[in-house]
Amino acid sequence: MSGRRLWRLVWAQALLLVCADPSQALEKYGRPLPSLEEAAGGVREAEESLFGGYFLTAAFVSNPSFAARPDNTGLVGLRHMLHLETDLYRHYLSFYTDQNFFSDRTKGWITLTEWDGTYAFTGAVDRIGWRLQYERDAPLDRSGLKQAYADVLVTAQLSSAQDMAWWRRLWPNQALTMYAGAGWLFHNSSYFARPDNTGRALFRYVAHADLDLYKNRVVLYGDVNMFTDRESSNQAKPTELDWIIGLAVRWRNMELAVYREQDLPLDRDSLVQQYVAVQLRFAFDVSKQDLGFGGPRGTPIPIQ
């Protein structure tokens, strides 16, 4: 792929985000979703929350090439995920885990074929966010390739409510929130730098945006995630681009979304993985009252 084509692709995805909206391979980082936390933050604090999270299930209604195992075999049919998080010290230090499970549509859709486990510490100081994460992707129905890495990521956030008076004048009811940043995979025994499982990822560049179309009940969101190859002569040059764009509709603590992802190589012609999915997500919160520690009774995290 030529340098000119590379930057056209990068700018095209940036425009998608600016015109659209943030998680999360399937974003190979945090699995991007419109944030539930802004709507829920005040409630969780008042309820003296111990931990919160969400459960989601998704059907890959169109999947010509998104693999169902780390060795790129099979095709994903269903995805199930549990996200749990707890504040260790206010918003400065939190812990979360994501447990992702996938099935293979070529093997009947039901039997789980991959398990991705993520464990991370994260926090924020003003507009700057950080994350220290470990992820391990492994097959479930057979022995085979496992992918694992540990990384650190730093991001900076921008929002129309605080930073873009011109946006508020033009679209007073459509809030835009964005963040961008870079990360370093300081430990990487087997996490690849391209969708065809070649190279080893070294650096990560991310960008993400949420566009509130209607009272935080209809949200357009997008994500860009790029990797570089530590085995390449230019270790800072992106070798993979993963992008997602989706539309989510929310009601109370539930969310229905449809989204598309495409993972493609940037420095050569090879495998492109892509799919379209429909997803249902339920958010929850467990308070001190729920576990008998006193205080107000907890309620599900509202999405609206």
Higher-confidence residue of 58 and 5: namely 58
Strand partners, 203: 184
> b/e map of 229-256 (b: 16 or more CB within 10 Å)?
beebeeeeebbbbbbbbbbbebeebbbe
pLDDT band at residue 297 using 50, 70 and 90 as cut-offs: very low
Identify whether 90 is part of a domain.
no
Q: How far apart are CA 112 and CA 101, in angstroms?
A: 7
pLDDT in the model for residue 287: 82
**For residue 277, what are its two tokens?**
């999915």
- Is the pLDDT reported for residue 265 higher than 80? yes
Identify whether 110 is part of a domain.
no
Identify whether 162 is part of a domain.
yes
Q: Which domain holds residue 226?
A: 3-59+122-287
Identify whether 95 is part of a domain.
no
Residue in the structure block whose two tokens are 């065809």: 196
Identify whether 298 is part of a domain.
no
Question: Element (H or E) spanning 273, and its range?
Answer: strand 273-287
Query: 67-95: per-residue pLDDT in tens?
Result: 999 999 999 999 999 999 999 998 899 99
Answer yes or no: are the C-beta atoms of 184 and 203 closer than 8 Å.
yes
Q: How many CB atoms neighbour CB 174 within 10 A?
A: 15
Q: How far apart are CA 203 and CA 151, in angstroms?
A: 9
pLDDT band at residue 53 using 50, 70 and 90 as cut-offs: very high
**Range of weakest confidence among 29-33, 146-150, 155-159, 231-235:** 29-33
- Is the pLDDT reported for residue 10 higher than 50? no
The DSSP secondary-structure symbol of 76 reads E
pLDDT in the model for residue 294: 55
pLDDT in the model for residue 27: 39
The DSSP secondary-structure symbol of 106 reads G
Identify whether 75 is part of a domain.
no
- Is the pLDDT reported for residue 289 higher than 50? yes
Tell me what the mean pLDDT of segment 114-126 comes to: 95
Q: How many CB atoms neighbour CB 263 within 10 A?
A: 26
pLDDT in the model for residue 291: 72
* pTM of this prediction exceeds 0.85: no
**For residue 172, what are its two tokens?**
């007073």
- Is the pLDDT reported for residue 280 higher than 90? yes
Per the structure, how many domains does the chain have?
1
Please give the distance of CA 220 from its chain centroid, rounded to a whole number: 14
Average pLDDT, the chain: 85
Identify whether 202 is part of a domain.
yes
pLDDT band at residue 303 using 50, 70 and 90 as cut-offs: very low
Identify whether 300 is part of a domain.
no
